[in-house]
Amino acid sequence: MIVTLPITVSGQGLHPFTSEVQRIVARSGRDEGLCSLFIRHTSASLLIQENYDDSARRDLENWLNRLVPENDPLYTHTLEGPDDMPAHIKAALTATQLGIPFQHGELMLGTWQGIYLWEHRRFRGTREVVLHL
């Protein structure tokens, strides 16, 4: 089973979509397996991270923005704006695919784990994540 999930983002940052994935897994009728997620973009990534305290996500975002700043004079790929090349680098340093086991129709995430699309640009719109069971 393959499903393309549209994920709406409102700019840079971590955007949760655990509930959307869990809903598809639960409705699939499959008892156990591996849920694979793949993002179809080069300037965003996927992450499993703390879902309880928003400050953990803000700290991650601030740390990565400090590590890979905009307007670095080394960048030559600047045609699409000052946030584009840093977004490509951030996506290269993080993950574009995830594998999450499920059992009894439930994702086997830890208590405080959530699934996030990490938007690295100031982009507002929709990103696509492909889910495969």
> pLDDT tens digits, residue range 70-119?
999 999 999 899 999 999 999 999 999 999 999 999 999 999 999 999 99
Average pLDDT of the segment spanning 33-40: 98
Tell me the pLDDT band of 53, cut-offs 50, 70 and 90: very high
Nearest CA-CA partner of 44 in 82, 4, 9, 81 = 9
Residue 1 confidence (pLDDT): 96
Residue 66 CB contacts under 8 Å (≥ 6 apart), including other chains: none
Assigned token pair, 32 = 């156990």
| H/E element, 43 | none
Tell me the pLDDT band of 40, cut-offs 50, 70 and 90: very high
Nearest CA-CA partner of 90 in 126, 47, 38, 32 = 47
- The percentage of residues in the chain with a pLDDT greater than 70, rounded to a whole number, is 100
* Predicted TM-score of the model (pTM): 0.94
Length of the chain: 133
Average pLDDT of the chain to the nearest whole number:
96
Residue 12 confidence (pLDDT): 95
Q: Rounded to the nearest 10 degrees, how much is the dihedral formed by the CA atoms of 104, 110, 113, 114?
A: 0
Residue 36 confidence (pLDDT): 98
Residue 115 confidence (pLDDT): 98
Residue 43 confidence (pLDDT): 96
Nearest CA-CA partner of 23 in 106, 115, 112 = 106
Residue 129 contacts residue 5 (beta carbons within 8 Å): yes
Residue 86 contacts residue 68 (beta carbons within 8 Å): yes
Residue 81 confidence (pLDDT): 93
Residue 75 confidence (pLDDT): 96
